[in-house]
Amino acid sequence: MEKIASFTINHELLERGIFLSRQDKTPSGDIVSTFDIRMTRPNRDVALSPQALHAMEHLAATYLRNQPQWKDKVVYWGPMGCCTGNYLLLAGDYKSSDVVPLIKETMEFVRDFEGEVPGATPKDCGNWSFMDLKGAKEAAAKYVAEILTNPGYENLNYPNLK
């Protein structure tokens, strides 16, 4: 089998940031842009806990699907299996720099959130108690302060494939 594109990125060189992972064309001709929202450096930083990622998923998905300018373009927000970040899929042709303000707003929402996590009830979620709001808030705060406030080239562009 052919290696999929995301496994050709050198994760030993990958920094934290927002990366355009791929763009796909649907049968109707629409473009879907997939973003790698990388919050920890793979294999070098401590990965995020699945519980923190789950709380972040609920908060970020809620925010994004209610954000007036973007809500109709959001296809999906969800955690990476490796627990180093999230994926955002948007309908449309975008590059990383286009979504920095949106991701910053989203992470500020997570960072500043108070109250019950949306959808964190047995009726609404299949693993509703598997949440770490404090961990999600801390990860979002660090990402905003260290990456999203002033992203550099290495935070918006994948490293060489080799």
Q: How confident is the model at residue 54 (pLDDT cuts 50, 70, 90)?
A: very high
The predicted model gives 65-70 an average pLDDT of 97
pLDDT digits (tens, 9 = 90+) for 126-149: 999 999 999 999 999 999 999 999
pLDDT digits (tens, 9 = 90+) for 32-49: 999 999 999 999 999 999
Q: Is the pLDDT of residue 6 over 80?
A: no
| Residue from 27, 25, 22 nearest 4 by CA | 22
- From the candidate CATH numbers 3.30.1360.80, 3.40.50.1390, 3.40.50.720, 3.40.50.300, the one assigned to the domain spanning 16-149: 3.30.1360.80
Question: b or e along 120-142 (b: 16 or more beta carbons within 10 Å of the residue's beta carbon)?
Answer: beeeebeeeeebbbebbbebbee
Which residues make beta-bridge pairs with 38?
A: 17, 85
Token code pair at residue 31: 């473009």
Kindly report which listed range (5-19, 73-87, 110-124) carries the lowest average pLDDT score: 5-19
d(CA 123, CA 91): 30
Q: Is the pLDDT of residue 162 over 60?
A: no
By percentage, how much of the chain surpasses pLDDT 90?
A: 90
